[in-house]
Structure 1
Amino acid sequence: MTQIAHGKKRKAIILTMLLMLAMLVSACGVKTVGSSEPAGSGSGKVEPVTETSADQASDLKGKKIALVMEFNSGTFSQQYLAGVKEEVERFGGELTTFVAETDKSKMASQLEMAVNQKFDGILTDHGDAATLTAGMNKAKEANIPVVAFDALVEIPGITVIEQGDQKMAEMTLEQLAKDAGGKGNIVKIWTAGFAPMERRQVAYEQFLNTYPDIKEIAAFGSVSNSTALDTQAKMEAILKQYPKEGEITAVWASYDEFAKGAARAIQQAGRTDIKIYGIDMSDEDLQMLQNPASPWVASAAVDPKDIGRIQVRYLFQKLHGDQTEDKVILEPVYVHRDQLPADKQISTDELGEYVKGWGGSTQGEQDWMSEYSK
């Protein structure tokens, strides 16, 4: 009887061990949603879920978001980044920022790195098709949603946000022509290779055709980690080429760092005969625009914080499972010194009190987002 009891006990132990082994083998063969590894080949680490269904969409908190920036120099980029951070925090996400320091190949590598690290969603800032296409396609294959800002990419399913660049250029160029009486000599500060610049150049070419008595006498521009300083030095050289009052009517600057550098050069040279018409707006830009001694008199822009916020909203729409457009155009506003108070310095947070349409955009906001505090 004792031997029979021992035999039964031994069989029970063996049966339990076999059952546990079967469960372990089965668990090792599970393929995690969003993982590119075949079943059974993983390390056992559970990867983040990157596909969202209606059932999963009720809670988006804890999503890991990557922001890949071509550069982050200048106050515009800093305020844009502040808007991104603010909105990611609103949704309870975690933001990691990669900065390529104007190196396009580095940006491409950083985008692929973000995909390989299996972020839940990816934002990109600037870059071009050659830089971004491979990484964005890889993100699509991994079911990682992507929203780009200011990039000439056309990939189905990738949402691209732009500022209405042609309209911004038209706003400032028309004011230049009006102030100049439809004639004069101008300097263009612009550079190729950036999506917003290419769109602004279209409006500039149309402008020259419309106003044949306005002549371009010089053109330059490059983006670096010291864009404003480089622009200032080049503008100083042009002022020496055209030292007489009236030889330069105005400067059209297609980017605020260009406008800042040119304004400092002109102001330091004591040239009160030259006006600057720029694009973009930040707190630092606004200080210069309000300064009556500055040649920078007008700019067209979208609130950089709003750009960041709106871009994040579209990414979280995708994470929520919503369908989003492939192209989103933001509405710019025109800002002239004459609209601003002369007795106090204001910030871009206060600019909406003086310029209709500035700041506080609700673009990209959805009803379900109300559960996430602002």
Structure 2
Amino acid sequence: MKKKVNWFIAVLLVIGILLTGCQPKGDAKEETAKPEASSHPLAGKKIALILQQNLGTFSAQYIEGVKEQVEKFGGTVTVFNSEGDLAKMASNLDAAVNQGLDGILIDHGTKEALNQGVQNAVDKGIPVVAFDAGVEVEGITVLEQGDQKMAEMTLQKLAEDANGEANIVKIWVAGFAPMERRQVAYEQFLTENKGIKEVATFGAATQNTALDTQSQMEAILKKFPNEGDITAVWAAWDEFAKGAVRAIEQAGRTDIKVYSIDMSDEDLQMMQKENSPWAASAAVDPMDIGRIQVRYLYQKINGENPDAQVVLEPVFVDASKLPDTTVTTNGLHEFIDGWGASEQGYTDALKELENQ
């Protein structure tokens, strides 16, 4: 009898184990929910971001904007940083194309380095949207910040503050599409404002741009030691401006003002310091640039045909309009009209995707 009972119990245990194995596990709901979450045809896309270089807080916030928008669309981003090496950038682009990703974002770069790789992407049906890149390939969309307008905004403010008479230092570097556009406006400005004289110019994009600019600006200040020798600095990039501002502050040169292009949280902190020489800047919210670029890429992934050239509207940031309390780019819209939270690039299909 005892043997029969033991045998019966054993059979029950085996049946129980088998039944337990057939029950849904705790993560089974997540697995079944995934197809519903990604049922939208635009969800689950794999995106590449090809950077010429990742320098400073502007780049960091731009990348953050790209990642934020792609994630809201249910996709993933692979970032390729080329560290300022255009040959490496071309290689990174080729790698992205060969991986067969769903879309490619490009940040800066030249047509000589990128045209062939972009053409390869287009030939394979991979949508491409570039930002501030000198790429010339039919079938892609290129975003720019309205560089000439930003230059005009800041240079006009410089001229007004100086009553049309100034000795200025220009910090600028060739080889970048946005820089070249800003230079066009600068040359036009000097032609039209004879009282504004350039007394020195320098600039280089390095892995430590702000620090290197500071050292070079310190040398310029020693060369022009007297009040009035330099009225203002015009910096065509905020990394240049940061170095110039620090050099001017350390030298105690309260007679020199700085006018720049681009804006980041770090820039704002420096502008808000008491007696800061940083007077003004013109920019597009770097996070918004990333978001908008992603939206145009997803338009193309969705089979739409956005304009080949898209100009982002810049905003003028006057240091005198900033509050005494610390403000970041996320809260800047409270004090500067037109800043942040742009709806540019959205379509009904993308809003639907984001809501899912």
**Fold match by TM threshold 0.5:** yes
Whether 1:269 and 2:247 are equivalent positions in the alignment is no
- SS of the equivalent of 1:373 reads helix
Measure the CA separation in 1 of the matches of 2:148 and 2:247.
27
Instruction: Name 1:221's counterpart in structure 2.
Output: 203
1:322 matches 2:301:
no
Q: What is residue 226 of structure 2 aligned with on the other side?
A: 244
1:147 corresponds to which of 129, 134, 143: 129
Q: Does 1:345 align with 2:326?
A: yes
Give structure 2 stretches of 5+ with no counterpart.
Answer: 1-37
2:164 corresponds in structure 1 to: 182
- 2:193 and 2:269 map into 1 onto residues whose CA distance is 31
Q: Is the 8 A contact 1:107 1:131 kept in 2?
A: yes
What's the offset of the Cα at 1:323? 1.1
Partner deviation per Cα, 1:52-77 (whole Å, 9 max, x = no partner): xxxx9942111110000011110000
1:82 and 2:85 matched = no
Q: Within the alignment, does 1:131 sit opposite 2:87 as a pair?
A: no
Deviation string 1:110-165 (CA, Å, 9 cap, x unpaired) is 00110011111000000011111010000011110000000112211110000000
Report whether the alignment pairs 1:201 with 2:183.
Answer: yes
Deviations 1:169-220 (A, max 9, x none): 0000000000011112100000000000000001100110111111101000
Deviation at 1:372, TM superposition (A): 2.6
2:354 is paired with a residue whose SS is coil
How many residue pairs get matched? Answer: 318
SS across alignment from 1:59: coil
Q: What letter is aligned with 2:326?
A: Q
Structure 2 residue identity aligned to 1:313: R
What letter is aligned with 1:97?
V
Percent pairwise identity = 63
Say if 2:352 is the partner of 1:371: yes
What's the counterpart of residue 235 of structure 2?
A: 253
Distance (Å, rounded) in 2 between the aligned partners of 1:140 and 1:368: 23
- The reply to whether residue 362 of structure 1 matches residue 349 of structure 2 is no
Q: After TM superposition, list the pairs within 5 Å mapping 1:34-53 onto structure 2.
A: none
- Code of the aligned partner of 1:244: N
TM-score when scaled to structure 1?
0.84
What is the distance in 2 between the residues matched to 1:212 and 1:292? 32
CA offsets, 1:273-296, max 9 Å, x none?
A: 000000000000011111122211
1:63 is the counterpart of 2:48: no
Contact 2:214 2:247 (8 Å CA) reproduced: yes
In 2: Cα distance, 1:85 partner to 1:298 partner = 29
Deviation at 1:337, TM superposition (A): 1.0
Q: Does 1:288 align with 2:260?
A: no
> Cα RMSD between the aligned structures?
1.2
How far apart, in 2, do the equivalents of 1:173 and 1:307 lie?
A: 23
Structure 1: runs of 5 or more not aligned: 1-55
Cα contact 1:61–1:92 (8 A) shared by 2: yes
TM-score normalised by L of structure 2: 0.88
**Could you say if the C-alpha distance between residues 256 and 68 of structure 1 is closer, same or farther in structure 2, counting changes exceeding 3 Å?**
same
Asked if the contact 1:267/1:293 (under 8 Å) is kept, the reply is no
**Structure 2 match to 1:93:** 75
> What residue is the counterpart of 2:154 in the other structure?
172
Kept in 2: contact 1:191–1:223 (CA 8 A): yes
Q: Deviations over 1:81-133 (max 9, x none)?
A: 00000000011111000000000110011001100111110000000111110
